Structure 1
Amino acid sequence: MIPKYRTQFNKEFSQEKYQKTNELIIEKCGQEAAFRLSESPIFLTNDFWNKLDDASQSIISQIKNMSDEELSKAIPDNCKVPNDTQKPHFLAIDFGICQDENGEIIPQLIELQAFPSLFGFQRLFEEVITEVYPFLNDLKKSLSQEEFIEKLKAVIVGDENPENVILLEIYPEKQKTAVDFVLTEQLLGIKTVCLTKVKKEGKKLFYEQDGKLIPINRIYNRVIFDELDKIEGLETEFDFREDVDVEWITHPNWFFKVSKYILPKLKHAFVPKSYFLSDFPENEMLENFVLKPLFSFAGSGVNLNPTQEIIDQIEDKENYILQRKVTYAPLFEDINGEFSKAEIRLLFGWDPKKEDPELLVNLVRMTKAAMVNVDFNKKDAIWIGSSMAFFGN
């Protein structure tokens, strides 16, 4: 979207530099990313940033004004966890980079979740990509490394001893996001612990280190709770639904409360109209909407072209929404003259001591397919995968 930066990047790009980017990530954190990195960042105008910011702040304000009673209706009965909090510690807000009927480039809300994402990795990616392409430093407007660590630590560790704070995941070494766990350990001095390794004595939780049981006071939760039931043979000493003496960062209930569940409730020029499937009005055309399950990740279960026959077969219509289709703009030119589309995720941390969340980093996903997911692209495609955005004029 900013021709001079796109031209300069494409001129400087080489396969060797892309390889260098991947090598530096391994060098700096000791592990490679298990997901594809795009060869290129994207360049967005400050005007587009203002649109993103306006939409995000409006969404945050609307969430703050929703009652706990209203939000709690989103939590399935079998997924309710005790000791809920007044607000989440994280917000991830995804916008498609789209084009309206007048050709104007605008953001369109796609999804949102009160759940953490790749905070550590995106910070490293920014460091590496600016090292490989030094001119990007002129566009760098993010927090300093010290400020970033301080703010992330305030949210995740708080006033606790890092030894008593864990990053919790199920089989963390098998997750595509494992590289982010390693970086979080490095940044904050906390341990990554598999759910199957957590010990329980009464209401207290522990993990084992060097033959000693270490008390767990805070859990930086990366487990998608409602997916645990899908894992065959899973054995754990404690159940999320038990009343235990820990502070959740962020509480599992928020995964449901701020999710696609609230999309039909949000109002803004950059929020496409959504309906619960059970409330879809007769005067709307089904062909103009995308069908989405309320609780899914990475495009799972999304139907871009739902039919009435498909709708009629769904029994639990309250667990689906229909969201008005948007047109992603193919704006991001690669070295072969082909264009990618993109989504941008704004990653907020919410210090419990502060009134509002704060943007810590952004994440971009680039694609040349109908859905923004690398798995849907051709295997030899370029300018696809995980990246980040730089803003300027």
Structure 2
Amino acid sequence: MIPKYRKQFNQEFSQEKYSQLKESLAQKGGIATAFRISESPLFLPNEFKSKLLEASESIIDQIKALPAEVLYKAVPDNCRVPNDTLQPHFFTIDFGICRSENGTIEPQLIELQAFPSLYAFQQVFEDTFCEVYPFLSEIRNTMPHAEFKNHLKKLIIGDENPENVILLEIFPEKQKTAIDFALTEQLLGIKTVCLTKVKKEGRKLFYENNGKPVEIRRIYNRVIFDELDRIPDLKAGFDFRDDIDVKWITHPNWFFKISKFLLPVLKHQFVPKSYFLHEFPEHENLDNFVLKPLFSFAGSGVNLNPTKEITEVIEDKENYILQRKVTYEPIFEDINGEFSKAEIRLLYIWHENEERPILLENLGRMTKAAMVNVDFNKKDAIWIGSSNAFFGEE
């Protein structure tokens, strides 16, 4: 895509520059990335960007039109957290990069969520690509750094002192996204705190900073609530379902409300047809669909080739969807003349009392395998892993 930039990048690429890219990211974050960094960015034409944005705006309109009680039904009874909000603070949406029947490259919706992604990391990642390959600066994201920081500061810190705002995670040092936590701390001056280190007194929460208890007033939440029960002997400092005197950024209920739960009701030419498993019609062919758990994360539990034998033994069919298969098009040429496929995640934030979310950044993921997950690739594959998209004229 965008032959001019692809040709120049492939000509300039070297293993030394790839090492420089990774080392610079590790130096900036103070920690190495625990996930694979792709050697290459994605180059996508502005025409494709227009399709992405048009589809996203339509999806946002449809979500805004849904009654609150419909969305609330998505939250499992045992996961409902008090003091819900009118809208989420984050909105991310994933599109596969596919080829249509008429031969044009188009996006196809894969999934969407109201959960924070690698916001701080992706901007640093884009910067670092531009430092190693200076010609990329002419097609980089046009949002100034100060504006990007102000948006996240307003959203996450609000009017509070950064000391009273924490990034909350379970054993953050063990998470693959730890570098994003470190970069968020640098960007906003907040602390990353493990759920086990939080203490509850009455309706208030506290964490220890330099040996002193500090009240927590806002939580930048990176904990996936429904995963808590899967960690044996977890000694959490409080229960998410407690009525506590904190502001959630974003409220845990939205993880369920904006999720694959919405795919069966969304309609657009770039939204593949989806059904809840218990509502799958007889006239459809199961071979044309992918089976997905409603609230899985990072591709967990996805079955690319479901059979009747597999679907019939699932007891909680209302917690699964069947989504029509889409074909990712291998169009990103590497230095060996082989091609990678990719998907792109648009990273929006949604300020309170504002009508629409704001697009801050994007995140790319490249693969040569059937799924966009590095674990499915050959060990010596290149042009795979986490990336960033640059848009320009063809």
Whether TM-score is above 0.5 comes out as yes
Cα shift at 1:142: 3.1
Cα shift at 1:160: 1.1
- Kept in 2: contact 1:166–1:193 (CA 8 A): yes
The equivalent of 1:277 in structure 2 is: 277
Cα shift at 1:244: 0.3
- Kept in 1: contact 2:141–2:361 (CA 8 A): no
1:372 aligns with 2:372: yes
The equivalent of 1:110 in structure 2 is: 110
The equivalent of 1:293 in structure 2 is: 293
1:326 aligns with 2:326: yes
What amino acid sits opposite 1:74 in the alignment?
Answer: A
Task: Quote the Cα distance in structure 1 between the aligned partners of 2:208 and 2:239.
Answer: 18
The equivalent of 2:358 in structure 1 is: 358
Cα shift at 1:296: 0.5
Mapping of residues 161-240 of structure 1, within 5 Å: 161-240=161-240
Task: Quote the Cα distance in structure 2 between the aligned partners of 1:27 and 1:13.
Answer: 21
The equivalent of 1:18 in structure 2 is: 18
- Kept in 2: contact 1:200–1:237 (CA 8 A): yes
- Kept in 1: contact 2:218–2:248 (CA 8 A): yes
Task: Quote the Cα distance in structure 2 between the aligned partners of 1:237 and 1:97.
Answer: 42
Cα shift at 1:372: 0.4
Mapping of residues 1-393 of structure 1, within 5 Å: 1-393=1-393
What amino acid sits opposite 1:326 in the alignment?
Answer: V
Q: Per-residue displacement from partner, 1:303-352 (whole Å, max 9, x unpaired)?
A: 10101111111111000000000010000000000000000000001111
The answer for unaligned runs of 5 or more in structure 2 is: none
- Kept in 2: contact 1:289–1:324 (CA 8 A): yes
Q: List structure 1 segments (4+ residues) > 6 angstroms apart after TM superposition.
A: none
What amino acid sits opposite 1:67 in the alignment?
Answer: P
Task: Quote the Cα distance in structure 1 between the aligned partners of 2:164 and 2:32.
Answer: 27
- Kept in 2: contact 1:100–1:327 (CA 8 A): no
What amino acid sits opposite 1:143 in the alignment?
Answer: M
Cα shift at 1:101: 1.3
Task: Quote the Cα distance in structure 1 between the aligned partners of 2:162 and 2:84.
Answer: 22
Cα shift at 1:237: 2.6
Cα shift at 1:143: 1.1
The answer for unaligned runs of 5 or more in structure 1 is: none
Task: Quote the Cα distance in structure 2 between the aligned partners of 1:50 and 1:147.
Answer: 22
SS at match of 1:314: coil
The Cα RMSD (Å) is 0.7
- Kept in 1: contact 2:38–2:382 (CA 8 A): yes
Change (3 A) 1:244 1:40: same
What amino acid sits opposite 1:187 in the alignment?
Answer: L
What amino acid sits opposite 1:229 in the alignment?
Answer: D
- Kept in 2: contact 1:118–1:180 (CA 8 A): yes
